[in-house]
Structure 1
Amino acid sequence: MTTENWNDDARPTTSEGWTARAKEVAAVLATDAVERDQANRTPHAEVRLLKDSGLVTLLGPKEHGGAGESWETAYRVVREVAKGDGSIGQLLGYHYLWAWAARLVGTPEQIAAVEQLYTANNFFFGGAVNPRDDDLVIADEGDVLVFRGKKSFSTGSKVSDLTVLEGVLENSGEHVFAIVPSDQDGITYGDDWDNLGQRLTESGSVLVEDVRVPWSSAAGYVDKQFQALTYNTLNVPTIQLVFANFYLGIAQAALEAGLSYTAQHTRPWPYGGDNKESATEEFYVLDAYGDLQAKLWAAEALIDKANAQLSALLHAEREALTPEQRGEAAVLIAAAKQRIIDTGLEVSTRIFEVTGARATASSVGLDIYWRNLRTHSLHDPVAYKRVEVGRYALLGELPEPTWYT
């Protein structure tokens, strides 16, 4: 991967400018995405690319050197980067969530401190968060919390400057989030992420041994009591929509790769009785691409609608959010996620039908799109997203907030 250096360039000042910058980053990533996927090396250079381009501080406050952009822009940026490399799109999307984590659950003082810290220093976030398992236990030692345990997944932590730890407080069972330096003796990375897809996300295990955090850094806690708001529960819809956007980026890249290969390499079938001079004239090829493009446009429109709706809530006053607003956004996101999973998997599979046998060569790398989508779309069962939408449509029920809803 050859990297561009944007350090001497003026930073974009509009949403459109940042989307264009993301496309430039994606173009760099796409040049050797297949080779880097096959090598499965830790993506230090890729994260440096995100930093140098200015994308890391997209949501950061302007007074600290950030772009002060909206989540609607951030979602589009994630989508564009994922077109170049699905793994790096995921890393950037997760970073945006963790960069916003203090705003989601923190106190005003914590929000100000965290946003200044990461924006001014161009820091990149990872997260060792898996609320499904109580595998990280927190001991209360007076003014200090001590994290101990092992997380099965820690996306991006090894290439990050800051890591969001999530654990369960002994005795109370309360979940606590805290931001800590990633490079420290108490955190050991397992280097055991070797999965089918999203191979460059550094999503392996992490061992946490006696990581000490002052109570003042426990996100949202005042005098050891969590200050609950409905706004706190936007964390799951926010990350679920991150998923939908980088799924869409991967699917769009798959379709573009198929179209390009067909136009340049696929041969027409010589035994059809109505032989064509080019594969681009084949009726079944045109039919397939027309079907897939229409479905992707529909998924994109639904995701864009969800992006606009959730972004408005994320940038509104935290205290003003109602459970109804939260629930309606969650339903729309559930619909968008299920639609892009189904469509994305179809696109990344059917492109082989219209590119031909030679397109299955490892050097072509068309398999990367299906592998990436198939791997991450198993994060949580999509059937439950369909049920959420079904309950809303049939019964008028809004989903209750959980760690996956």
Structure 2
Amino acid sequence: MTATEKAVNWKSRPTTAEGWVRRADEVAAVLAADAVRRDRANQTPYEEVRLLKDSGLVTLLGPVEHGGGGQSWSTAYRVTRAVAAGDGSIGQLLGYHYLWAWAARLVGTPEQIAAVEELYTTNDYFFGGAVNPRDRDLVITDEGDELVYDGRKSFSTGSKVSDLTVLEGVIEGTDKHVFAIVPSHQDGIVFNDDWDNIGQRLTESGSVEIRGVRVPWESAAGYVDKQFQPLTYNTLNLPTIQLVFANFYLGIAQGALRYATSYTREKTRPWPYGGDDKQHASEEFHILDTYGDLQAKLWAAEALVDRAGSAIEELLHAERESVTPQQRGEVAVLVAAAKQRIIDTGLEIGNRIFEVTGARATASSVGLDIYWRNLRTHSLHDPVAYKRVEVGRYALLGELPEPTWYT
């Protein structure tokens, strides 16, 4: 029996933000116990998602009246980070779930929001998404009372482990984009089991084919009488998910540093040929210097990520009609800064921890490589250079980034 299959005795669900973060730490501890073994096995994470459901974390943002946590986005970001410290893949799955669970609020009508939030919260449903914008849009055919989705996406995080999938496409012959939430397990959705990358191996991010998936017009998010009324609030999905990225990157980096310091204290041997021999590796000057440098950089990245989280939370929990393009743009710049900073810091930590753990720490059984592989893989999601340019344009020219599929 694996660590994730062992029963965890959660008799009740937390009621405060700090309680939810402690619950996430408990989940992370369970995941960390066999994270390396599960990464090597690369099996569909059914038990891991069951752990997220049993802990209550999947309904963190759900309405209290339906059994949800009723928490804010700053808590969701901290929880994502905590889980990622135990297992980066599962942290990513949870962070994406939070974004897709909020999708109805981003673009839906009040009636759609209420229906979706009651559905997923009361059933502990888990979300995936088939939206990857680098691929061609899914083609939507308008058949009167129904929309029919067809096409293929090369990435679909969550895929087989999800209960609900977010689809996005364009109505044929128009420029109308339509989001819809559909059951994941149906004949028209085919997951191709082709995710086999060097990192984030348990995210089930492989390709998916959409074959004639039917959606009633009343489920087309944000549409009334087949017309969509856009708001600036609708465009918050991109900075929101980009900050999800930054938070699970931060969690991965925190997990790496935590594991490395533990290994150094317990197993790393001091170097006997330096002329100033120490009894323990933890007394070595260069080891202390390196850990001090990495910890300081990580704290700085965390502070910036938290600052961005506080800023975007104000918008995500505001009245939707009140959010302005200026507010949205300023938050997007801050998120871009946080993302680029934690990528650089996290990759440095994932690399340099080997310098302070020693040659024996490169053994496959130790698994220190998992942190660098995970962060390196997902940090290529979209070029970080463009995030630096967004911040540069704001700093030099006062320009705010225009909403795009990646901004």
Q: Same fold (TM over 0.5)?
A: yes
1:259 corresponds to: 261
Q: After TM superposition, give the deviation of residue 7 of structure 1 in Å.
A: 6.7
Q: Please tell me whether residue 176 in structure 1 is matched to residue 178 in structure 2.
A: yes
2:13 corresponds to: 11
User: Structure 1 residues 8 and 296, CA, compared in 2 at 3 Å: closer, same or farther?
Assistant: closer
Task: Report 1:358-397 matches (<5 A).
Answer: 358-397=360-399
User: Structure 1 residues 46 and 306, CA, compared in 2 at 3 Å: closer, same or farther?
Assistant: same
3-state SS, counterpart of residue 398 of structure 1: coil
Q: Which amino acid aligns with 1:264?
A: E
- What TM-score does the superposition give when structure 2 sets the normalisation length? 0.98
Which of 85, 88, 94 aligns to 1:86? It is: 88
Task: Report 1:35-54 matches (<5 A).
Answer: 35-54=37-56
Q: Which amino acid aligns with 1:2?
A: A
3-state SS, counterpart of residue 126 of structure 1: strand
CA distance in 2, matches of 1:189, 1:209: 11
Contact between 2:104 and 2:112, CA under 8 Å: does it hold in 1? yes
Q: Which amino acid aligns with 2:3?
A: T
Residues 290-319 of structure 1 show CA distances to partners (whole Å, capped at 9, x for unaligned) of 000000000000011111111111001000
Q: After TM superposition, give the deviation of residue 176 of structure 1 in Å.
A: 1.3
CA distance in 2, matches of 1:311, 1:63: 21
1:228 corresponds to: 230
1:2 corresponds to: 3
CA distance in 2, matches of 1:116, 1:147: 25
User: Structure 1 residues 398 and 207, CA, compared in 2 at 3 Å: closer, same or farther?
Assistant: same
Task: Report 1:314-325 matches (<5 A).
Answer: 314-325=316-327
3-state SS, counterpart of residue 102 of structure 2: helix
Q: After TM superposition, give the deviation of residue 275 of structure 1 in Å.
A: 1.3
Which of 329, 339, 360 aligns to 2:341? It is: 339
1:127 corresponds to: 129
Contact between 1:131 and 1:166, CA under 8 Å: does it hold in 2? no
2:144 corresponds to: 142
Q: After TM superposition, give the deviation of residue 188 of structure 1 in Å.
A: 0.7
Contact between 1:352 and 1:359, CA under 8 Å: does it hold in 2? yes
2:69 corresponds to: 67
Q: Aligned-pair RMSD on alpha carbons?
A: 1.0
Which of 177, 181, 187 aligns to 1:185? It is: 187
1:197 corresponds to: 199
3-state SS, counterpart of residue 128 of structure 2: strand
Contact between 1:7 and 1:53, CA under 8 Å: does it hold in 2? no
CA distance in 2, matches of 1:352, 1:142: 61
Q: Which amino acid aligns with 1:330?
A: A
Q: After TM superposition, give the deviation of residue 8 of structure 1 in Å.
A: 5.4
Contact between 2:58 and 2:125, CA under 8 Å: does it hold in 1? yes
Q: After TM superposition, give the deviation of residue 137 of structure 1 in Å.
A: 1.0
Residues 161-197 of structure 1 show CA distances to partners (whole Å, capped at 9, x for unaligned) of 1000111221113221110000101011100000010
Contact between 1:99 and 1:115, CA under 8 Å: does it hold in 2? yes
CA distance in 1, matches of 2:395, 2:143: 48
Q: Which amino acid aligns with 2:82?
A: E
CA distance in 1, matches of 2:347, 2:93: 21
Residues 88-132 of structure 1 show CA distances to partners (whole Å, capped at 9, x for unaligned) of 000000000000000000011110110010011110001111122
CA distance in 1, matches of 2:3, 2:151: 39
CA distance in 2, matches of 1:56, 1:70: 13
User: Structure 1 residues 132 and 29, CA, compared in 2 at 3 Å: closer, same or farther?
Assistant: same
Q: Please tell me whether residue 20 in structure 1 is matched to residue 22 in structure 2.
A: yes
Unaligned 5+ runs, structure 2: none
3-state SS, counterpart of residue 163 of structure 1: strand
- What TM-score does the superposition give when structure 1 sets the normalisation length? 0.99
Which of 100, 103, 107 aligns to 1:101? It is: 103
Contact between 1:131 and 1:403, CA under 8 Å: does it hold in 2? yes
2:239 corresponds to: 237
Which of 387, 399, 402 aligns to 2:401? It is: 399
Q: After TM superposition, give the deviation of residue 2 of structure 1 in Å.
A: 2.6
CA distance in 1, matches of 2:137, 2:222: 21
Aligned pair count reads 405
Q: After TM superposition, give the deviation of residue 354 of structure 1 in Å.
A: 0.8
Q: After TM superposition, give the deviation of residue 133 of structure 1 in Å.
A: 2.1
CA distance in 2, matches of 1:286, 1:93: 33
3-state SS, counterpart of residue 135 of structure 2: coil
Q: After TM superposition, give the deviation of residue 215 of structure 1 in Å.
A: 1.1
Which of 348, 351, 357 aligns to 2:350? It is: 348
Q: After TM superposition, give the deviation of residue 135 of structure 1 in Å.
A: 4.3
Which has the larger displacement, 107-116 or 171-180?
171-180
Q: After TM superposition, give the deviation of residue 28 of structure 1 in Å.
A: 0.3
Unaligned 5+ runs, structure 1: none
Which of 290, 296, 299 aligns to 2:298? It is: 296
